[in-house]
Structures are given as C-alpha cells and as structure tokens.
Chains A and B, each alone.
Chain A
C-alpha cells in the first residue's frame, strides 16, 4: 500500500501528461512553418521520446501488488452530462501503455515520409494521444473519444502516405471502423441513460459506477454487449470483420503499419477485456463460446490465407489476423490464464509484428516491392537483415525462449481448461504459422539472388538501432516473463472475481479446484515459468 500512496503522491500528473504531450507536440508541429522539415521531425521525435520515457517511468513506479487503478487523476469535463476526464492505469492496461510509449518513437526513427512531412508528423503524433487516451480512460465517453480519435490520423496516414491502392484502403478502414463505433456509441449512450436512471435521473459515463451498478436486465446487457462487440470485433479484427486489415496494412506507410499492428489492433482486444467483460459479465459468459469460436476461425483462417499470399506485407497482415485470433480466444476463456496470456499476446504481437513491419519497410525502401516472387537470395547479399528477420520470424511463430511463445502458451492453457477441443484445434494454428513464415522465408532469403536483388544493401547502423530495444524485449519476455506476469495477474484476478461475483453460478474454468491455477501463478512467481522447460 505504501507504494501506492507514494505513487499517488507524485506531484507530477503522469497520466494526463501521457495524453497531452502528444497533443501539444502535434499542435507545435501544426504551428511550425511547412518548410522547416527538420524541426517537424525533431518535435515529433522529442514528444515521442518523452512519451516513451514517461511510460517507462510509469512502469517503474507502478505498484505490482495493487490490482486496482493507479495514478488516478480525475477532473470534471462536461458537467451537464457527468462526463469526467478520468485516467487510471492497472495491470491490464500498463503494458499496453508502455508498448505504445516504446513503439511510437521507434516507428518514427525507423521510417521517414517521402513527401509532405508536416502533415505526416502531425497525424502520427496525434495518433499517439488517441491510443494513450483509450488505454488510460476510466470514463466511457473519454474512451470513446480516444477510440474515434485514432481513426482520423490513421485515415490520413494511409490515404496520403501509403502505397498503391491507398485511397481504397483508407476509405475501407475508416468506414469499417466507424460502422462499428457508431453502434458502440448508441450502446454507450443507452448504458449511460439506463444506469443514470437507476441512480435517480441524469446520465453517467463513469465506468466503475456503471459496472458496479448492475441495474441492467439480462436482455439489455446482451444487446448492449453486442453493440460493443461490433466495434471491438472490427478493430481487432475478429474473423468475419477482418477484410479491412490486409488492405490497410499493405497500403499503409511503414510507421502507419507499425502503429496499426503494434498498438491500434490492441484497442479492440483491450476493449473486450476492459469494457466487454467488466461491464457485461453475464453477456460475456453467454457469448463466450461464439467468440472463442470466431477467434479460432480467425487463427486457422488467417494462417491459411497468409500461406497463400504473394505479397510479403499482406502475409504479415494475415498473420496478424491469426495472432489476434489467439488474443480473442484467450479473453473469452474467461480465466486468469487465458486473460493473462491474451494480454501477453497483445504486447508480444505489438513488438514482433512492429519489428517485422519495420524490416519490411527497409526492404521496400531498397527494392520498392513487397512481391515475394521479385525477391530471392537476400540472405547472401544481406546476412544481417536476414538474421534479424529470422529472429522476429521465429518469435512470431512462437518458438520457446522468444516472446511469442509465452502468450500463446498461456492462451492455449487457459482455453484448454475452458474448452478443451478448441485449444487442440488452435494448436494447429501454431504449426500453420511455422509453415507460412518459413515458406516465405525460404522463397525470399534462400537461393541465389536474382539480378535485381544483387545490389540489395545490408542494414545500416542507423536502421539497426531502432530495432535494438525490440530485440532486447523479444528475448527478455521470452526468457523471463515473470516481472510482467506478476504485474498483470492481480488485476486480471480481480476482473475474474468480478465476473464470478456478478454472474450467479459461473465459476471461472480452471479455478474450480484451485490446483490447476497454481502451476501458472506460482510457476511464474518462482521463475520456473512454463516455457522454462524448453
């Protein structure tokens, strides 16, 4: 508790700073004259680096023993509607905040726009604010604003700085996401009105008040839950709503892809946990089998389609569908293992896919193509590049000892406890991941380089440096996930207890006799984590 008090006593409002620093940075960029290109880059990088430093500081100051929201700061925003500016962070959001803080500066360092620098840096910086607002929000309305705020910057990033069919991809992205959030907005309002009525008039957007109020009828809960699912399922994306993603990813500029895959897809899965499970526990239990099944379909479908891609970036995009399918599955296993694994998976996927997109960005800069058939024998001419690609590829496949394994293992474990056969089928997805990744690797990197590929230059030091933190994280998380898991676990535990309390007769699968939970929790605690047996 002392740690909490110390943290709460911080004179510096760190969470508002995380939201406002990118906004201020973006405003400065907007105010600078368009000719001073180097200043735009400087301000963008400076604000992103400060963002990263603050998020790391947050990580250090975070109290692992406190499962609730920490560093809470609250201010009234719109009095008439009881909309508050509430920010807080707990074990569920902590690592997503840190991920955002790390990936944004890296994306800036790793890629430069080819034209119209001012707008590019403006939108990219603003995007960071939206992501932070979503992860930190403790108020439904603020959350929704952040969720929507991510939309416009990415729309412009894809539409103006993307490749090929960028306009089509940008429109598709915008409309899919907006359709989802339109339904969510109606549900948020309905929730606010219904809960406000329960409290004696008015409306409320206070997350905790709504969740603990429990005035919703079963039907209302289910209908509203489906509205939220519509928004999150598009964002994740869950299987039938995924078609925008390959287009958006393929046509986006490198930094856009990194942030899209690394951070923005997590808005959906995070939303499932924070809003889906927390606000509508009964409906979540009711819909869990369907959503697990959709997650499973996503895993297999994404992998199979990825294997058939001719475009390397599209391949990675479909692998995202597969990996995020794991995250969804873990969430709706509705137990501690699954949820923990899901959060780990989000972080890992952000790091690994972010790194892969950066590498693909380097590749595109040299060859101006993502077509697998145009590339060959790169290992000969660019061994370091090939080595880095191998590392992140293996992590993505889920090789033990690297980051990807931890999340997928926990998810499979959690799902196994809840729905045994689903986990068995999902394990096939892991094998398929190895198939499509290695096959692509073989075609691109092995063999003799063709004429066009012979002059392929290996990676430069300036290009290598942004990847260093990601390499470190891939190994660190893979080998020693304990410090991360022990910060996630209390909050997840609390959430699972909340669900069990709110849903009569529901017991989180896997905790029935308590013994099945023990190995993970204590295993992570003692350092002999499951993947230690590798």
Chain B
C-alpha cells in the first residue's frame, strides 16, 4: 500500500505526503542503528583511548536498551491495562499495528523476536569480547558489525512488505559477510567470508527475483495487499505459475540463510573458517531473522498456497534433519560438527514452518528462543577451547576436558545434552513443540523422521561428551587452568541459566509465545485518508495506476491489469 501511495501521489498534487510513522514503534531499530553508528564514530575519534572493554560495554548496553524499548511495544500489542514506560493504554489503542504505511508490522511475533535478537547481540558481544581480549585484538568493527547486522535482522522480523524484508536481509547479510572474514590471522577466515559472500549474493538474487515474480502475479509487494488480493481473487493459469515460482525462489533464498539441505553447503566451511564468536552470531541471529522471514512470507502471506509450499518444506526438512545428523557423525572438527548439527536443528524448525498453523509458529518461536542460547553458549565454549588464535577445534582438543576444566566441560555438557533434547533442558521443549506442530498438522511421519534423526544427532553430542569425560587428556587438550575470560563466563552463565530455566519451568516461555502470533495488520485508516484526493478519484484512474487499490481499506476487486497481470478476477 505504502509504495503505491508513494508512487501515485506526485501525480495528484504538489505536496508529497509521507506515510505516518509511529516513531516509538521503531525505537528498537533506531536504538540499534544509532548505537552502531555512534560506536563507529566514537571509536574513530577516541578508539585508542577507550579500547575493547568500552566497545563491549557499549554493545551490551545497546542490546539491552533495544530490549527495553521493545517492552512497551509488547505491552501495547498485548493490551496491558497499565502504563509501561511511555506507552499509556488511555492514549494509544492497544493491539498489533503496522506503521510506515503498513510496511513494518508490530505484532507479538515481531516484538518477541526483536527482544530475542537484542539479547542475542548482548550475549554475542560478551563472547566476542572474551576472544578479542585473549587474542589482544582491539577492533571496533566486530561489535559495530554485530549491532548493525542485528538491525537488519530486526527489520526482517517486522517486515510487512517483501521489499522491506529484502532490505533487512541485505543489511543483515552484508555485515555478516564481513564478520565471517574478520580473523585477519587465519586465511580460512577470509576464504569463509568470500565463500559466504558469493553464495549469499546468489541467494539474495534468488530472493529478489522471487519478489519480482510475486509482484508480477499479485500486483504488489506488500503482504497486506498480497493477502487481500489472494483472498479476493482465485489465481489461474500463468499468474498462479508466477506466484508459485516466486514462492519457490523466495524459499530457496531463505533456505540458504537458514542452511537447510540442499542449500547448506556453505555452512560447514564458513562455520569452520569464520571467527568462533562470529559463528555464534551467525548461527543464532541470522537464523532467527531468516525463519521469521519464512514464517511471514509463507505462513502469513501465502497461506492460501500452503498446499503448494508445504511439500517443498517437507523435503527440505527431511533432508536437513537426516542429512545434517548423518554427516555430522563423521566430523572430527568440532566447529564443522556443530555446523552440521545446526543444519539438523534447522530441519526441526522447518517442521514448525511446514505445519502452516498457529501451533507451528509457536513451535518455531520456542525453538528459536531455546536454540539461540544453546548455540551461542556452545560456540562460546568452542571459542575458549580454541585458545589463542582460535584454531584448536579438532575433537582431540576436547579429550579429557572434564579433568582439565570441569566447569567448562560441565557447561558444554549441559548445552550439548540440551541440543540432543534431553528433558529438563530447553532443547527438550523445543523438540517437543516441533513434534506437536507436526502431529497437529497431520504430518506425524515427519515427526517420526525428526525424532529418529534426533537420536542419530544424539550420538554425535554423546561423542563430544564421551571425549570430554571418559577419555584421558591428550597432547592437544588445553593445559590445566585454561583461562575462561570473564565476559565469556558471564555469557555462558546466561546461556546455561536460560537453558535450564526453560527446561524446568517452560510455563513463562509458552505463555509468552502463545501471545505472539504473526498477523498482517493493515495500516491505520487515517493514513490513507491523508493522501489527498484519493477518495475523489474516478475508479478507472485507480486501475490505471496499478494494483494500488487492491488492499488497504478499500477491498475493491480490482483487476490489476495495470501491473501487467493477466489474472482473471474470479471471486
């Protein structure tokens, strides 16, 4: 809607009306973007004097403040009956809403994931601080890119328009490409960055082409208009082919980001080569954003095409689950092993998306929350054991770790058991919800495949546990008294605490997740009224201006012929 308004208004009047922006709704984004830019400015002015501790502190604070600014939004979406910070129930109506002309949605789904991303940034910054302190690096780029990349992720989780989703994806990805290549001392890191960039650019192109085809088929890129259009029109013939092709290409683009088989081949190499602390970020925030995008596009936007895209996701899920678990079995490098295991986890999350239901979305959310802390914690341990230079990642480095550093090995054990889905850890509930979603969506066979592949995956986590506890230390095992940087230690405590807390009392998480369904909210009516002269237009002109009239407050059954769509408007 917004885009079409923007496009058509200059023709009508001299004044260019911009869509009404609800600034408080964008505060988390603004905090993150400003935080990143200010950090860069600050570092270039006083970088030599302040150093790593300040960068870390800044990043953590940015994350926490962004989290804080999302709280009143949550209160508003949920309609709490008391004031929360600047949100006052008596002044502003409660409930989910959209802003910037409907391009950016504020609903339970986006607010919850925004909060999760903000926390993930804070925890990742702590992990990163630990490694850079140890290796004597004083770069500001790492923290700054974390923040900026997370900004892109936040745009993605709220995107209500395919173009906005793409913008978020690019902001996210470009920063992550650099993060992957950031370890200047290891040539593998540069290789990883380049590989990720080349393949990532391909996938972005796929995604963009998908958007173009969808626009051709439906006449809009806004999810509001698309859902409205699909509800009113039955697509036949070539226009349905356009949309289907578009969906397939968008799925391919997003499947690349979540590293689902067969779009996964980059991930083991990149995980292996990239600095471990960047991998923690990649494995958590990038997945959150990409799965959020997937849910928005498929489950919310194209739910009428569920019968067409569900089989695609089923294939992706099965391949990821089984492939990831099986290939992980033969890995001897812990980072590669975790890369394959994260592919298998992606398969589990795909189960939730595949269900195409509220239960499925709930499963995705629970899995994302649980997995974020699991994976950051796991890579935090890997970053410590990697030691100076971040290069000791073979399985032999973990031999007898339980004897050398019981605290670290114990932490890793909890996180690994949680990844395996052992009860009383968050990983169990994550898998449990995924199974519920699959069974609920009549694809119990998928749940059986998933659980059996979870058993295969359990073996590989056990292999690590065995190496740490049941085997005597070897040459590559860290010497006793392996230092655990204080910041990484804090991150680990947070990750383990969240893992166990969710595992023991899942109630709070489930009740939050229950309140966080993704919805498509049309932009407020008064925004449309702002556009002068729109009401007075002859209907024919609207048609000539393209598919602008299809959505919004005006459910005209418009034949969007102006957009070059041959769709018949059969109701």
Contacts and interface: CB of A to CB of B under 8 A. Distances in A.
Interface stretch (B5-13, B288-296, B458-466): B458-466
Contact of A175 (B423, B431, B439, B458): B458
Contacts of A174: 458, 462
A77 interface: yes
Interface string B465-489: 0100111000000000000000000
A149 B462 contact: no
A189 B447 CA distance: 10
Contact of A185 (B435, B462, B510): B435
Give chain B's interface secondary structure class: helix
Interface residues of A, number: 32
B435 A167 contact: no
Interface string A183-215: 101100110110000000001000000000000
B514 interface: yes
A182 interface: yes
A183 B440 CA distance: 16
Contact of B455 (A145, A152, A178): A178
A193 B439 CA distance: 8
B529 interface: no
B432 A189 contact: yes
Interface in B417-457: 417, 422-424, 428, 431-432, 435-436, 439-440, 444, 447-448, 451-452, 454-455
A170 B467 CA distance: 13
Contact of B444 (A149, A152, A186): A186
9 A-B pairs with the lowest CB-CB distances in the bound complex, closest first: A182-B451, A80-B510, A148-B423, A145-B423, A186-B447, A179-B455, A190-B439, A189-B435, A159-B470
Given A80-B507, A145-B423, A149-B423, A156 B435 contact: no
Contacts of A170: 466, 470
A1 interface: no
Nearest to A80: B510
Contacts of A183: 448, 451-452
Interface of A: 77-81, 144-145, 148-149, 151-152, 155-156, 159-160, 166-167, 170-171, 174-175, 178-179, 182-183, 185-186, 189-190, 192-193, 203
**Contact-residue size bin, chain B (C-beta under 8 Å from the other chain):** 20 to 34
Contacts of A189: 432, 435-436, 439, 447
B452 A79 contact: no
B423 A203 contact: no
A185 B451 contact: yes
B459 A171 contact: yes
B466 A159 contact: yes
A203 B440 CA distance: 10
Contacts of A192: 436
Contact of B466 (A77, A80, A171, A203): A171
A160 B452 CA distance: 26
A193 B440 contact: yes
B469 A193 contact: no
A203 B507 contact: no
Contacts of B511: 79-80
Given A148-B423, A148-B428, A175-B462, 16 more contacts: A77-B507, A78-B510, A79-B507, A80-B514, A144-B423, A151-B422, A159-B470, A160-B470, A166-B470, A171-B459, A174-B462, A182-B452, A182-B454, A186-B444, A186-B448, A193-B440
B506 interface: yes
Give chain A's interface secondary structure class: helix
Contacts of B439: 186, 189-190, 193
11 contacts: A79-B511, A155-B462, A156-B469, A170-B466, A175-B458, A178-B458, A182-B455, A186-B448, A190-B444, A193-B439, A193-B440
B382 to A, nearest CB: 22
Contacts of B436: 189, 192-193, 203
Nearest to B469: A160
Contacts of A171: 459, 462, 466
Contacts of A193: 436, 439-440
A175 B455 contact: yes
A193 B458 CA distance: 26
B502 to A, nearest CB: 11
B432 A185 contact: yes
B514 A179 contact: no
Contacts of B510: 78-81
Contacts of A80: 507, 510-511, 514
Nearest to B434: A189
Contacts of B448: 183, 186
Nearest to A191: B439
Contacts of B424: 145, 149
A288 to B, nearest CB: 25
Interface in B481-509: 506-507
A167 B454 CA distance: 20
Contacts of B444: 186, 190
Contacts of B435: 185-186, 189
Contacts of B462: 155, 171, 174-175
Contacts of A159: 466, 469-470
A170 B466 CA distance: 9
A175 B459 contact: yes
Given A175-B459, A193-B436, A193-B440, A167 B423 contact: no
A107 to B, nearest CB: 22
Contact of B507 (A78, A151, A182): A78
A132 to B, nearest CB: 15
Nearest to B454: A182
Q: Which of A144, A170, A183, A189 has the most CB of B within 10 A?
A: A189
A159 B424 CA distance: 21
Contacts of B440: 193
Q: Which of B454, B458, B459 has the most CB of A within 10 A?
A: B458
